[in-house]
Structure 1
Amino acid sequence: MKQGFAPQKTLVALSIASLFAGAAQAQETGDTASASATPGNAATVVVTGTRVANRTALDTASPVDIISAETLKTTGSTELNQALSVALPSLNFPRPSLTDGTDTIRPATLRGMAPDQSLVLVNSKRRHASSLVNLNGSIGRGSAAVDLNTIPSAMVKTIEVLRDGAAAQYGSDAISGVVNVRLRTDRSGGEGTVVYGLHKTEYDLLNDVAPAGATWTAPNSRKRTDGQTTTVSAWKGLPWGESGYVTLAAEYKNQEHTERAGYDMRQLYPKIGTAYDPRELTINRFDAWYGEPEVKQSTLFVNAGNNLSGDVKIYGWASYQNRDARSAGYFRTPQDVRNIPSIYPNGFLPIIAPTVDDYSAAGGVTWTLGAWDMDASIVYGKNKMDYEIQNTLNRSIGASSKTVFDAGGFGYDQTVLNLTGVRKVDMPSLASPLNVAVGIEARREGYQLNAGEPDSYRYGGEVLANGTPAAPGAQVFPGFRPANETDAHRNAVGAFVDLEANVTDQLLLSAAVRGEHYSDFGSNLSGKLSARFDFSKTFALRGALQNGFRAPSLQQQNFTSTSTNFINGVPFEITTFKPTDPVAVALGAQPLKAEKSKNVSIGAVMRFDPLTVTVDAYRIDVTDRIVLSENLTSAAVRNYIVSRGFTGVGGGRFFINGVDTKTEGVDIVANYPLNLGSSGRFDFTLAGNFNRTKVEKVPTTAQLAALNPAPVLFDRLNVLTMEKGQPKNKITASVNWKLAQWGLTARATRYGEVLSPGTTQAFDFELGAKTLVDLEGRVALTPKINLALGVDNLFDQYSETLPPSLNTTSNTPFANYTPFGTGGRYIYARANYSF
């Protein structure tokens, strides 16, 4: 993308705003009607980004999208992350494969930032993160983010997405924005839903040539019907006394895996003399699982609240989810040195099978204390992930090796206590009362890592025919060792003040400041200034200036794993080190500190009955981003480690501060509802995000810089992933139509260009822009029974197929940077019964 992109886009955006402003003056005397479309409903009161009661989505000083439960339904997926990525151009949800645990817990990104730079709330309370650290080469490498898919869509009333930094208001992580899931509060009624879908698709193949003299040939394309998914969910509202509610939700999901592998043209068996083994012509050469994992998932959720007496109200919620997943690694051929033919004569596809258990519980009370509206709460959450490795072996043990291993796992827990007070103070000099919000928060976090069984990681003593020691540990995912075990905790306390008022009838100002202290890295102070000026009822400008932060996660500070590699017959331990480990310190690592950000945004809000348009330009500068270093295993590194007194250490990697980035972009959203009477009601939405990130600094250490050759801590592949690994732009156009019992949703989403980067420029691969079309039709058979048929990715779009030079095993025909995944066309049916 050209330099100067963001200033040009900002100028264009504000020029558009100025053109609309002239029209706005001409329409000033007219009544303004609220728009209803995706994202959001302009007349809906929001609670995210403001603590002023009864402020609507188009009256805020920062952009807030509101995604309704009905909008979430109009996609074939019941995953919240996937549904949000369809509804919001600024949110991306790539679906990588062959990335170990990331296949099971996939992170989403907002405004092109890292997954852990967006804060997730449930009912305005901080949600706990997943225990998984994304370690492999995909978007979000090095992050530990919240798994939104632990919340069943049946429990969601609305989702509010604040597209602006908010660390001064909510604390750590809110660099790029805030996602606030608001739960149902029904005391009556209910709904049961069954969704069934499958992928029916065809994709192209770019095949390598067969070995000399081989007679097997490859097809040019492959047809698949797979990924059959059944989701059964229900919610029910129950009364609790005269005014209280208890809303229950349950969901069960059963998803089969998808296969998007290429045709394996390699010689798979040893030759018999000079001839190829006859089995070469009968073995299934589509031998990989590249695609969606198998998932069996059960979720329960309850949300409750009641008036106790007078102005005292209690509230709370609890959830539990169990997720059993199965995804694959790379196929090991029959003659692979990591295989034992007596166990797997036809080779083997190792399976990574995590079990994820996720819990949460919250309780709170609100009351009035003089002029103050008080709120006190405690929220607990925990996420555990345990690995079983199936259909594999420990090559170093030999023919007696087990084929299923307990590889250990990890867990993360979080307890948050909040006390806030909000009041209005009459200020005669102001056009409105001054809204004052103050609060304190205390948080305790824990991270645990548990070892697997000894056979999952140990070296069993086997030596290969060439004299080289066999690879130790369970193939594809060696277990965690006792030396890796961790049980770490930290505490954080913070306090904030938030002020907001209309200085004049036209000028809204708000200011927030927040101070926090963490027991592991120190203190932080964040501030935010926001303003909005309404030139008329139909045109307003808004903007914000703020600094923010993201605390290093316990996962980043404490994750560690070790595997044994033999180099010239000598065993070396290759480790992901804690930043405080003596070996990492010798290489220049330091205790992690907070990422720091500066956010600037300016936007326009235009309302011309019934059209609404918002344009928001932003810039986010982040310093000292935390990243996972490259694998430091060169001879120079090993020799240096030995010189520092460490033996048997072959190198490794560690988390480190030091990447500075600049992200610039523009969000544009236009909604137009049109009621044509006997022809029905139409809701049109056109929305787009244009985004650019530039890496301006990468980390270095004096110790590594002095080596010859000096290893690179953060190489071009990871730099380009940050800069070009997500779409340059994403544009969505949709229309919802309703007439009597009939309904229709049509949506087109254009994903801009993406780069799948390589270790050198020769291995870079450009992914061109693609447009996906989704279509859903609905009918209400009775007032209580509704049916829907739909197709996501109607025209079966895929990103470009990787050439054989980038897919040498044929296991991965598509890049993991594909922003819309590799599922292809998805056909589904949905039945709803209201009661």
Structure 2
Amino acid sequence: MTFAYRSSLFLAASGAALLIAGAASAQETPDDATSVDDIVVTGTRVPNRSRLDTLAPVDVVTAETLSTRGTTEFAAALAQSVPSLVFARPSVVDGTDSIRPATLRGLSPDQTLVLLNGTRRHASALVNVNGSIGRGSAAVDLNAIPTGALDRVEVLRDGASAQYGSDAIAGVINLRLKEAREGGGASVTYGQYFTTVETARGERDETDGRTVTASAWQGFGLGSDGFLTLSAEYLNREPTNRSDYDPRVTPTAITARAGDPKVEQWTVFANAGKSLNADWAAYGWAGYQDRDSESAAFPRLPNNANNVVSIYPNGFLPKIAVNSQDLSLAGGVKGEIAGWSADISLVYGRNALDFRTEDSLNSTYGSASPTSFDSGGLTYDQLVFGADFTRQFEVGLTGPLNFAWGLEARREGYKIDAGQPESWNRGPLGSNTALAGGAQGFVGFQPSNEVDDDRDAVALYADVEIPLTEKFTVEGALRVEDYSDFGDAQTGKLAARYDFSPNFALRGSISTGFRAPSLQQSFFTSTSSVIQNGAVVETGTFPATSAVATALGAKALKPETSTNYSLGAVVRLGDFDLTVDAYKITIEDQIVLSELINRSFSGQVAGLLDPLGVQAARFFLNGVTTETEGVDIVGRYRLRTESAGNWDFTVAANVNDVSVTKLPTSSSVLNPVPTLFARSRILTIEEGTPDTKVSGSVDWSLGRWGATARATYYADVLQPGSTAASDYSTGAKTTLDLEGRFQVTDRVGLAVGVDNVFDEYPDFVPETLNSNGVLGFPYYSPFGFNGRYGYARLSVKW
């Protein structure tokens, strides 16, 4: 879809908004016209600003909205509420099955900054290295935050690096925890899929994915004005399987397991605040999650060369188990210093992933092989000190000038631990070149893969917002950051808003941004051993600064840089509001994972790799340039009636186009240059997320009754192969979700619902492209591929 089309859409919507505003200019705005506006703290440092008064678009999603979903998975529920957010459900891609990333405006998952209570949230230790959306990224695990702990979520859809620092290229997701000193609630949700699965080779009925989620929260008073809010959640989910029938076995049967992983997790959060004196208050929070997740690798049939028949006479299906332990701790104080509002905080976050390979074997050990392996682990941690100062100055304008400045100091660490020797080693039968070394399904990290690295970063910023007239407001922000590994980066932002009337305003911004290379991208390494000419050599992923990658022309990673442009309109007519925001984002030096460069490519490559004991290598590198153009439209209308109840109508749309305009070539010293970034990677960036997503919802309540209906349209998504003949796609699809609610008493509520009422699936993978039956459907699908889901929820409040 061309940007000309989207520009026309934007102009048409803006024109409609102008006509509406003109028609309404003679009308009297109701006194409560702004009562439905949500006060936001993201994207602005001016107090008491509503989402419709901001200089950049901000979506506000309340905990109540998130709770009226069938899914209790936070990232999935948020994606149903935010038009430009997509949460795919990859499968059979190792650790990414368990730590699934979300994308904003079709950009990489790590190009969206995530905040918790306004402070930088730590990323997952996992870097996505397989063929999924967000390949090469190390993103924040949104599902590490339980929905029950949240009060609301604010999504800033605009470049904000000058305000918040690295990663805020696509925008910012700010998670706001509950702050309650009394009251509480609890809920239990039970659901499962009941669906007809129609794959290329047959049709079957499934009832799987049973999910039980129990959550509770309680507010406590601390003295006369303090609060302590505790929340807890337990989730148990059985796996789903949407694989096709395997044509290699007789009679035909399903041998694989592609779908949602098995998950058991528990999460606890505490959020507190208390005045210290008339001018100062202390605050803090703590959270911990333990998640056990198990997904499946590709099946091994009995005649597979790497099967040991004495252990698995019928073949085996390896399982990849990941234990994720996620910790966050924060403390801070707020108060007044010489007329300045000050906020000083210290935040620590840590994510540790321990991998196990189950129901597997290492064929080079023969019948003596273990079937369960400790495959090693990844750890990422982050310590952030922040000091923010804000003050308003009366300078003779129509309103106070708001000036903010501050500093941030950050230390990050990244570590890889090796697995047990049998998970990566070549055993007594290792001289047999037909046998693969290491645990089948997920090879463990070797001692040579172990790393323990860290870095420091310091940032200074200034942000000023000036109302030049009663109708015209401008904002400017500057930020300078210095990193111990690659140097410094400078970003800036200019934004403005003109209110033609209380009913209509235009807003826009120009900004530069950056994303520092993550430690995961800089230092991740994972290799396996193979036999080459009778010698054991390695193949896999190497750090860009390693001897192997350097020999192939790799260079130390440098930051990605971006330029963002946006132009939008805001319409308010009593109980109706509409926002339309067009944008263009150019990202240069984007960091990607190269293709595997094999010694067989040329004699030159063989001459470089053979002395290093390596058969093939890949590494992270800069060099991809993308251009993203699109428009977001969000409209909302509230209707209040005495006899027919209260109605809330929302329509939200995102139209988005991503183009790759430049590919990495200069980082290789080789001649000829091998393909560093393949066709399938390019098309994943350009067509791996829907170019159009439209969601319409209706919320209704009358007395003790309530209901929600939501329809979401997703444009076609391509899951590319190595050639056009091996591409397949999801098709354009629309899903419908329904929920009904009844308040049994003032405290007890019951809800029942069905997500994906009409059992919609993406188009199945063609038979000719699915020789083993593993993938029944494209896992690039933006709404998953599990079918119809029914659920019931019992809630209690006090």
TM-score normalized with structure 1 length: 0.94
User: The residue matched to 1:112 in structure 2 has which SS?
Assistant: coil
In the other structure, the counterpart of 2:158 is 164
In the other structure, the counterpart of 1:85 is 79
**Amino acid of the structure 1 residue aligned with 2:634:** V
In the other structure, the counterpart of 1:769 is 732
User: The residue matched to 1:84 in structure 2 has which SS?
Assistant: helix
Query: Aligned equivalents of 1:671 and 1:356: distance in 2?
Result: 39
Q: How does 1:485-564 map to 2 (within 5 A)?
A: 485-564=450-529
User: The residue matched to 1:723 in structure 2 has which SS?
Assistant: helix
Structure 1 residues 329 and 413: CA distance shift in structure 2, 3 A: same
Deviation, 1:15, is 3.1
User: Does residue 381 of the first structure (1) align with residue 349 of the second (2)?
Assistant: yes
Query: Aligned equivalents of 1:443 and 1:528: distance in 2?
Result: 22
Selected match of 1:266 from 243, 248, 265: 248
Structure 1 residues 680 and 589: CA distance shift in structure 2, 3 A: same
Structure 1 residues 22 and 705: CA distance shift in structure 2, 3 A: farther
Q: How does 1:78-117 map to 2 (within 5 A)?
A: 78-117=72-111
Query: Aligned equivalents of 2:307 and 2:3: distance in 1?
Result: 50
Q: How does 1:349-428 map to 2 (within 5 A)?
A: 349-428=317-396
**Amino acid of the structure 2 residue aligned with 1:224:** E
CA displacement 1:732-753 (0-9 Å, x = unmatched): 0000000000000000000111
In the other structure, the counterpart of 1:233 is 215
**Amino acid of the structure 2 residue aligned with 1:686:** V
Q: How does 1:525-604 map to 2 (within 5 A)?
A: 525-566=490-531, 571-604=536-569
Deviation, 1:618, is 0.3
User: The residue matched to 1:603 in structure 2 has which SS?
Assistant: strand
Query: Aligned equivalents of 2:523 and 2:179: distance in 1?
Result: 39
**Amino acid of the structure 2 residue aligned with 1:14:** S
CA displacement 1:51-96 (0-9 Å, x = unmatched): 0011111000000111011100111111110111000110000001
Q: How does 1:318-717 map to 2 (within 5 A)?
A: 318-428=286-396, 430-462=397-429, 468-566=433-531, 571-636=536-601, 639-643=604-608, 646-701=611-666, 703=668, 705-707=670-672, 710-717=673-680
In the other structure, the counterpart of 2:7 is 7
In the other structure, the counterpart of 1:223 is 205
Selected match of 1:121 from 109, 115, 136: 115
User: The residue matched to 1:656 in structure 2 has which SS?
Assistant: strand
User: Does residue 250 of the first structure (1) align with residue 244 of the second (2)?
Assistant: no
User: Does residue 726 of the first structure (1) align with residue 676 of the second (2)?
Assistant: no
TM-score normalized with structure 2 length: 0.98
Structure 1 residues 235 and 225: CA distance shift in structure 2, 3 A: same
Query: Aligned equivalents of 1:61 and 1:376: distance in 2?
Result: 26
User: Does residue 787 of the first structure (1) align with residue 750 of the second (2)?
Assistant: yes
The question of whether the paired residues in 2 share the 8 Å contact of 1:371 and 1:424 is answered with: no
User: The residue matched to 1:483 in structure 2 has which SS?
Assistant: helix
User: The residue matched to 2:163 in structure 1 has which SS?
Assistant: helix
Structure 1 residues 54 and 2: CA distance shift in structure 2, 3 A: closer
Deviation, 1:23, is 2.5
The question of whether the paired residues in 1 share the 8 Å contact of 2:70 and 2:789 is answered with: yes
Deviation, 1:634, is 4.9
CA displacement 1:137-194 (0-9 Å, x = unmatched): 0100000011111111111001011010100000000000000011111000000110
CA displacement 1:705-759 (0-9 Å, x = unmatched): 513xx31100110000000000010000000000000000000000111111111
In the other structure, the counterpart of 2:192 is 198
Deviation, 1:819, is 0.9
CA displacement 1:295-349 (0-9 Å, x = unmatched): 0001010000001111110000000100001100001001011111110000000
Deviation, 1:572, is 3.2
User: The residue matched to 1:138 in structure 2 has which SS?
Assistant: coil
User: Does residue 752 of the first structure (1) align with residue 720 of the second (2)?
Assistant: no
Structure 1 residues 734 and 628: CA distance shift in structure 2, 3 A: same
**Amino acid of the structure 1 residue aligned with 2:153:** I
**Amino acid of the structure 2 residue aligned with 1:504:** T
User: The residue matched to 1:452 in structure 2 has which SS?
Assistant: coil
**Amino acid of the structure 2 residue aligned with 1:681:** N
**Amino acid of the structure 2 residue aligned with 1:822:** F
Query: Aligned equivalents of 1:790 and 1:783: distance in 2?
Result: 21
Deviation, 1:11, is 3.2
Query: Aligned equivalents of 2:106 and 2:332: distance in 1?
Result: 34
Query: Aligned equivalents of 1:705 and 1:804: distance in 2?
Result: 39
The question of whether the paired residues in 2 share the 8 Å contact of 1:462 and 1:469 is answered with: no
CA displacement 1:228-267 (0-9 Å, x = unmatched): 0000110000011111000000111000000111111214
Q: Percent identity?
A: 50
The question of whether the paired residues in 2 share the 8 Å contact of 1:130 and 1:145 is answered with: yes
Query: Aligned equivalents of 1:86 and 1:741: distance in 2?
Result: 25
In the other structure, the counterpart of 1:804 is 767
The question of whether the paired residues in 1 share the 8 Å contact of 2:548 and 2:617 is answered with: no
Bigger Cα displacement from structure 2, 756-765 vs 389-398? 756-765
Name the count of aligned residue pairs: 798
User: Does residue 132 of the first structure (1) align with residue 95 of the second (2)?
Assistant: no
Bigger Cα displacement from structure 2, 5-14 vs 72-81? 5-14
User: The residue matched to 1:504 in structure 2 has which SS?
Assistant: coil
Query: Aligned equivalents of 1:497 and 1:3: distance in 2?
Result: 34
**Amino acid of the structure 1 residue aligned with 2:4:** G
Query: Aligned equivalents of 2:165 and 2:592: distance in 1?
Result: 21
The question of whether the paired residues in 2 share the 8 Å contact of 1:637 and 1:651 is answered with: no
Query: Aligned equivalents of 1:704 and 1:34: distance in 2?
Result: 63
Deviation, 1:569, is 6.0
Deviation, 1:631, is 1.3
In the other structure, the counterpart of 1:31 is 30
Structure 1 residues 261 and 364: CA distance shift in structure 2, 3 A: same
Deviation, 1:651, is 1.6
User: The residue matched to 1:822 in structure 2 has which SS?
Assistant: coil
Selected match of 2:174 from 180, 184, 188: 180
Query: Aligned equivalents of 1:517 and 1:249: distance in 2?
Result: 37
**Amino acid of the structure 1 residue aligned with 2:70:** G
Query: Aligned equivalents of 2:548 and 2:413: distance in 1?
Result: 24
The question of whether the paired residues in 1 share the 8 Å contact of 2:10 and 2:580 is answered with: no
Query: Aligned equivalents of 1:613 and 1:582: distance in 2?
Result: 55
CA displacement 1:96-120 (0-9 Å, x = unmatched): 1001000111000111111000011
Root-mean-square deviation over aligned CA pairs: 1.5
The question of whether the paired residues in 2 share the 8 Å contact of 1:448 and 1:486 is answered with: yes
Deviation, 1:508, is 1.0
Structure 1 residues 639 and 473: CA distance shift in structure 2, 3 A: farther
The question of whether the paired residues in 1 share the 8 Å contact of 2:385 and 2:410 is answered with: yes
Deviation, 1:10, is 3.6
The question of whether the paired residues in 2 share the 8 Å contact of 1:498 and 1:510 is answered with: yes
User: Does residue 813 of the first structure (1) align with residue 795 of the second (2)?
Assistant: no
- Segments of 5+ residues of structure 2 without an aligned counterpart are none
Query: Aligned equivalents of 2:248 and 2:106: distance in 1?
Result: 38
**Amino acid of the structure 2 residue aligned with 1:372:** W
Query: Aligned equivalents of 2:208 and 2:443: distance in 1?
Result: 30
Bigger Cα displacement from structure 2, 454-463 vs 798-807? 454-463
In the other structure, the counterpart of 1:67 is 61
Q: How does 1:264-303 map to 2 (within 5 A)?
A: 264-267=246-249, 280-281=250-251, 285-303=253-271
Query: Aligned equivalents of 2:669 and 2:389: distance in 1?
Result: 51
